[in-house]
Structure 1
Amino acid sequence: MLLTATNVSKTFGRLKKANGQAHVKAVDEVTVSVAPGDFTAVVGESGSGKSTVARMLLGLIPPDEGTVTFDGVPLAQMSRAQTMKFRSSVQCVLQDPSAALNPRKSVHQILSEVIRLHGIARGREEVEKKVHEALEIVDLKPAQMYANRYPHQLSGGQRQRVLIARAVILRPSIIIADEAVSALDVSVKAGILNLLNRLRTELNIGYLFITHDLPVVNKVADEVYVMKSGKIVEHAPKKQLFLSPATLYTQELLASAPVPDPRLAREWIRSAL
């Protein structure tokens, strides 16, 4: 169940005031892959092309060059049945749950839509059972209480857990998480990361984790791709990349990440008491 982008490129057009059409190459011959059980991170500054790679891997936009394959089959050549399997096997978790969840629908309605669309349960009781299972697996308990709420009645961390529940309800092989914890505070972020790691172990889910947060990468990732200006400039196991970065750009990224000082933290806590 390997999901791979091989030498993919994507160019977008942009209107200029004087000379008509200009082009921006957002992704330039990028190769990335992720398999079930992997925790692979793609890091880089804003505008480096990370999210465009994610959209191509999800089949939301086609590459101009190169191919995206799932289980050895190019997305562009999949039959309808293969496409449906791909849609259930590769899910996404986005940065902003407020925008990703329909505010007019309850959590139960949001999750049951996915269940019915993919035909994984039939009848009210079976659907409700699946909804409650999905909520419980992401630690939204009691499930009945959360199922009847609307997105505005949930905290940011709870909304993100609903997004994760919507993804795992289909038992996917791979989840593409695009800045999935960047909008959360530190304690909530830690809880979501622990949840993702637990689901990885229990359900053998692989993650392609897109982020600019290097401390998060250091906590959870196995493999790391570093992107700059649409290109992969470095790919290495996490430990190797953090201990001995091969490129100046990676060194600069690591140097820019804040490193907490335990001594200063203790002094600040004492001063606040």
Structure 2
Amino acid sequence: MEGSNKPTEIGSTKMFGGYNKRFKHYSPTLGCSMNFHVYFPPSLSTKFPVLYWLSGLTCTDENFISKSGAQRVASSEGVALIVPDTSPRGLNVEGESDSWDFGVGAGFYLNATQDKWKNWQMYDYVVKELPELLTKNFPQLDTSRASIFGHSMGGHGALTIYLKNLDKYKSVSAFAPIANPMNCPWGHKAFSGYLGGDKTDWEEYDATFLISKFNNVSATILIDQGEDDKFMHDQLQPHKFEEACRKANVPLLLRLQPGYDHSYFFIATFIEDHLHHHAQALKL
């Protein structure tokens, strides 16, 4: 596998007329073998736009595919779902699996600058390598029409990647995103470990900070947040992002959902709204 990054199919299941397909490839960006999922809707004569999902802490490429139920709407809307993993794996870096919120399963969708974590380049993997891989190997996918969304750490990733690449994505949404990681324990741990102690470097991966730099966001940002999410106030801080959007005059629809927690039960409940949000943008 090493030396060739052409994906190999390692799994396929039919669902809502289309197929969940799992692929393995060698990633030059990350320096290891990686898995990702694609949900291909039922075949049509036209190419499918793509919607990237970024998962949260401890997840792999499998959680969203098996738990979200997104394929039903993706099938009817004719949108392909792209689901990468959350970090490099199998590198055996000392301490990479010591904690659930840093290292393996916790790539935070950034490019690490600290030498020990030099393989943690998930930003470049998602923004550059994966779209190029899809374009080269899957002619049925139209990667020029792309949107992005995610959950928790992946919601943070989706927001920051979208804001820094408005030319690449038509829309963004998030479930319970880590909206202000510079000012929460998860973010402090990840940023100090991957990026070092200079907080000006952290700003490049904080959606609440980044939003003030962009006044050309025209598509409404959709965020769903469960009001019974135990992480909302300490870790996620959606209201800080809401305030930053208000000041920057960026359109945001923040929906606080009573009784819902941080789980995939919450995601599955509102996933249809997010699929329609993106499908509308992708068809413009």
Q: Which has the higher contact order (CA 8 A, sep 6+)?
A: 1
TM-score of the superposition, structure 1-length normalised?
A: 0.29
Larger Rg: 1
TM-score normalized by structure 2?
Answer: 0.28
Structure with greater helix percent? 1
